[in-house]
Amino acid sequence: MPTASLRDDLTVIEDAPAKINLALHVTGQRSDGYHLLDMLVTFTWHGDRLQFTPAQQDEFEISGRFAEALGDSRDDNLVLKARDFLRDAIAREGGSTPSVRIQLQKNLPIASGIGGGSADAAATLRGLMKLWDASLPPETVAAIAVRLGADVPMCLASRPLVARGIGEQITLVNDMPVFAMVLANPLKGVSTPEVFRRLATKTNPPLDMTARPSWVETIGAMRNDLEPVAREILPEIAAISAMLKAQGASLVRMSGSGATCYGIFASLAAAQGAAAVLHNDRPDWYFEATETIAGGRDARAG
């Protein structure tokens, strides 16, 4: 690994795509309390963005629509934990990790079920590996990701995948097409521990990946086992789902433990039109039209 200082003009920009749980099945619970999950996951082109540049001392800046919402959590941000964990690992290998200025553009709602913090941590690992020109064994990077949180390994991949266990057992899904989506959130939080605590059944059937005539139908036959409970806690989830359906979404479901819901539309133009109408109806809520990242270069929704 190089030990020289970084060029002052070196800049690395890394996107942190939103993570969408197309389906989430709760299949069991370990003796240590962690829930066992089967998840079909994809990522969108919309997300946070991080910029990494050399600095005289470590710096961290946050901007963007949801910067203020981070509040006191700035000092305990997963971005800083990712930086420090990676720095320690590189130092153990004899590498150099000069001071860095990290700028986070926070475009995703906080604690919204679309992996914002985990995506930021994963982007930090990717970005700093590039900035520091670091080479670590894949298993070392994977161990750092798991240490940061169960969603971080998925976000490190940022490609369509199936995740099992507590989220660390990942299988890429290379044939998933692009979906046009509207992401919708009433900007009210749902407690993930409370959602899991209220689950009546924690041993549900796993994902059924049997192919149907279209991917939308395949996903439609799946579930989010957390959604019924989250709707009881936060009725706005049902309201926002109904709004997406009224705009013509072919499939609507909650992502993760909420409160973000996604609606799949026939085209990006249709999604953009729906998002504009919804934003006009509820300007105090969050609506974002976007597309997902394909599993294959030429894949298209069908």
Active-site pick, 15, 38, 120, 151 = 151
Our answer to whether residue 175 is catalytic in this structure is: no
Choosing from 15, 19, 48, 81, which is the catalytic residue? Answer: 19
Concerning whether 120 is annotated as a catalytic residue, the answer is no
In whole angstroms, how far apart are CA 128 and each of 62, 88, 214?
A: 17, 12, 39
The residues carrying an active-site annotation are: 19, 151
